[in-house]
With several copies, the nearest count.
Chain A
């Protein structure tokens, strides 16, 4: 699974390959990662270097890493979340019809709205399942649901239009 971690204003591409390997940027690294005594204290041995840190979760995707007496705030997103954010952030002018597209391939779990229904900005208009997780797709603005092009249970391609909002 691929993640984008932002630490000290630098973006790091971190891919979790398996239990023992990760790729950072284009470097394949052998890692040995363990939680100590079931505490939020983690021991990381990466290519022989041994590190221990407190890792606390902040809001959303923000983590606080206390390492060697310094605090590093780190934002971690996986690609899905990044796309979701992109999808959500796509700004648009009023009135103009907006086509909600699938940010990733997946299974339509639910369309909790019906055609003609008016929705608020941020209201959930579709639930899409992918990577064994269900992701709520929100309306980028207030409006009315136009045509709904998919039904629950259907699988959709990335970028396939799910419904439109007038």
Chain B
């Protein structure tokens, strides 16, 4: 196996990867920005090197520096995690040139799937169904796109060809607003990926976002680890993922799994990857894109399959055969993940920064928390607001939901606002419990203050709590006033007042 692995990432995923390396007896090298000297991945790694200033472009996106550090430290592999350099084929290629194993697919696969338009063309050849849209490869002008748009029909989506995570994505309901949206989409894509190319895609309404986890080794073996339901999103950011999907059955899973494997094979894929599909009301599924890297929500699949995906990534990258064949994969129970973000769900989800002063993690049976923060750590505005992933497992989906409610109720993070209340409200919503939701549910049909009867029940308790705290504060300030009086008597003080005001 590898002797030393450099983890080119930060936060919970860097910690996750360091753990896998440690459990496989590999030394770990962390890299960090000036904002992250105290970060958990720096504390846990065997080695740590400063990359540069806080902004990603000057630190975690500096592939050149990272490769230099890997050389200097004698690391024989680099794990990119997700985000940052994970889907940059040039970085993967540079690693190869430097004789360092890139723990992920070949640069050509990243390139093929990284350019969304090319990806669509590639998988179409492989007979994979896709959402109608601009079939041809990118580099289309606004005029081209404005011409094609009516043929595709509205509503439609503008998507960045280099994109991901909703960056550079715009929804268009009519031709009039399209030029402006094209402009802003290109600008956003440019700044996010250094590539302003966009393409068009029909907007499938009432659709679910379901992805298939695939694993492929260098010996041509490709398997899938079932699906993850990712429809619960806000501004194209996933908030909750679960597996199995409430709408899934063995037959559909087998069909989608087979197609996912085909898509991976179409780009000669190696290592862990995820094929995202759109599934419409009639359970027709369409290829959306492939994430050629470890997914944030991989732990959901780890829970129901018992497979350590990151450890398997490391084995594969070392040239090992997959540890499992497709028919050895068993799905056991149900798993749900809630992404805990430092943002205020009562204030339009604006990001919340600050020092974490206190924290209490939910634990116990079937609960897993992957996090990169701890009491005393400062949440800076430089990076993703996701500070933790709370994942639970249950024998059934119902049990998993009950366990998630229990875990969310236990979770305490003080110092920054978090979206935990959002998740608690969601877990209580009948729509979620019924599994009846689509990609628009959170934005269009979900409200933070449902369950009135519940609120009435607790309004009085809230009144008592606020009053008790207010009283305590009053007492405290009163004491301060009293102390003040001892120093200078009111009379002197009043004298001063009079002098001033005469």
Interface residues of chain A, those whose CB is within 8 Å of chain B, are 1, 3, 5-8, 10, 12, 14, 16, 22, 24, 29, 31-34, 36-46, 48-55, 57, 61, 63-72, 74, 76, 78, 107, 109-114, 127, 129, 131-134, 152-153
Q: Is the pair B501, A33 in contact by a Cβ cutoff of 8 Å?
A: no
Which B residues touch A7, using CB under 8 A?
459-460, 462-463, 466
Stretch at the interface among B46-54, B219-227, B249-257: B46-54
Alpha-carbon separation in the docked complex, A5 to B358 (Å): 28
Alpha-carbon separation in the docked complex, A49 to B28 (Å): 10
Which B residues touch A71, using CB under 8 A?
346, 421, 448
Alpha-carbon separation in the docked complex, A41 to B425 (Å): 20
- Tell me if B412 is interfacial: C-beta within 8 Å of chain A: yes
Sample of 12 A–B contacts (CB below 8 Å) = A3-B471, A12-B467, A31-B468, A32-B50, A34-B37, A37-B358, A37-B376, A39-B358, A72-B458, A107-B490, A110-B494, A114-B502
- Whether A38 contacts B376 in the complex (CB less than 8 A), given A7-B460, A48-B47, A63-B469, comes out as yes
The 3 A-B pairs at the shortest CB distance, nearest first, are namely: A37-B376, A69-B424, A72-B462
Q: Is the pair B463, A112 in contact by a Cβ cutoff of 8 Å?
A: no
* Other-chain contact of A8, B456, B470, B491 (Cβ < 8 Å): B456
- Whether A46 contacts B37 in the complex (CB less than 8 A), given A61-B470, A69-B425, comes out as no
* Other-chain contact of A5, B50, B467, B473 (Cβ < 8 Å): B467
Measured CB to CB, the nearest residue on chain B to A10 is B459
Which B residues touch A40, using CB under 8 A?
414
Measured CB to CB, the nearest residue on chain B to A53 is B465
Which A residues touch B377, using CB under 8 A?
37
Q: Is the pair B412, A41 in contact by a Cβ cutoff of 8 Å?
A: yes
- Counting residue pairs across A and B whose Cβ atoms lie within 8 Å, the total is 189
Task: Quote the shortest CB–CB distance from B462 to chain A (angstroms).
Answer: 3
* Other-chain contact of A132, B451, B455, B481 (Cβ < 8 Å): B481
**Residue with the highest number of chain B CB atoms closer than 10 Å, among A54, A76, A112, A113:** A76
Q: Is the pair A133, B471 in contact by a Cβ cutoff of 8 Å?
A: no
Which A residues touch B459, using CB under 8 A?
7-8, 10, 12, 72
* Other-chain contact of B425, A70, A112, A132 (Cβ < 8 Å): A70
* Other-chain contact of A72, B376, B455, B494 (Cβ < 8 Å): B455
Q: Is the pair B465, A44 in contact by a Cβ cutoff of 8 Å?
A: yes
Measured CB to CB, the nearest residue on chain A to B428 is A69
Main secondary structure on B side of the interface with A: helix
- Whether A22 contacts B375 in the complex (CB less than 8 A), given A40-B414, A72-B459, A107-B490, comes out as no
- Whether A8 contacts B414 in the complex (CB less than 8 A), given A43-B38, A55-B465, comes out as no
Excluding A41-B414, A44-B468, A69-B428, 11 further A-B contacts by CB distance (< 8 Å) are A7-B459, A12-B459, A36-B376, A41-B412, A42-B465, A44-B461, A45-B48, A50-B45, A50-B47, A51-B465, A70-B458
- Whether A36 contacts B38 in the complex (CB less than 8 A), given A41-B412, A51-B465, A133-B481, comes out as yes
Q: Is the pair B458, A3 in contact by a Cβ cutoff of 8 Å?
A: no
Q: Is the pair A67, B458 in contact by a Cβ cutoff of 8 Å?
A: yes
- Tell me if B454 is interfacial: C-beta within 8 Å of chain A: yes
Measured CB to CB, the nearest residue on chain A to B470 is A76
Task: Quote the shortest CB–CB distance from A165 to chain B (angstroms).
Answer: 16
* Other-chain contact of B30, A50, A109, A131 (Cβ < 8 Å): A50
Task: Quote the shortest CB–CB distance from A24 to chain B (angstroms).
Answer: 6
Alpha-carbon separation in the docked complex, A70 to B468 (Å): 19
Which B residues touch A132, using CB under 8 A?
478, 481-482
Which B residues touch A114, using CB under 8 A?
501-502
Q: Is the pair A16, B467 in contact by a Cβ cutoff of 8 Å?
A: yes
- Whether A24 contacts B46 in the complex (CB less than 8 A), given A31-B468, A37-B358, A55-B469, comes out as no
